[in-house]
Amino acid sequence: MAKKTSKPSEVDEEETLTPELLEKFKARLKGERTKVLGNLKTHVSDAIQDPDKFADESDQASQQVSQTFLLRLADKERKLLNEIDNALGKFEDDSYGYCEGTGDPISVKRLELRPWTRYSVEYKQVLEKEKKLRGS
């Protein structure tokens, strides 16, 4: 009979959210928040330029297209800012790194890619399938 070793697998070691990793993610989220907030302010500021300063109608039309694009970017930045704020709030109740759908830990690799993620890969796939079935 072969003897089993009690050495934990490398995957288990990689999946552990240590206090050091938590601090790393928190710092990264704070840095992302600062960056996103700056981008948001810039996009909104650029979008609200006075379109009447352009005398030519084609210049005004071009400015309106640009303004619409900048406002879309600002909206995406606002949504990302909300996700980041949500993730930072999870540090307060020690729920950072856990799937909101299942309560299971989210993989460290996923958190490294998207530190503001709310769901594990598996649960996100379930949500996407449900969304596709509903036709949304």
Q: Which of 38, 5, 16, 46 is nearest to 111 (CA)?
A: 16
DSSP code per residue over 25-67:
HHHHHHHHHHHHHHHHHHHHHHHTS-GGG--SHHHHHHHHHHH
pLDDT in tens, 68-98: 999 999 999 999 999 999 999 999 999 999 9
Q: What is the pTM for the complete model shown?
A: 0.79
The mean predicted confidence, pLDDT, of the chain is 86
CA distances from 54 to 42, 44, 69 (A): 20, 19, 18
Residue 59: predicted pLDDT: 78
**pLDDT over 50 at 37, yes or no:** yes
Q: Where are the domains of the chain?
A: 18-96, 98-136
Residue 4: predicted pLDDT: 37
pLDDT in tens, 111-129: 999 999 999 999 999 999 9
As a whole number of angstroms, the distance between CA 112 and CA 69 comes to 29
pLDDT in tens, 40-66: 999 898 888 765 666 678 877 888 888
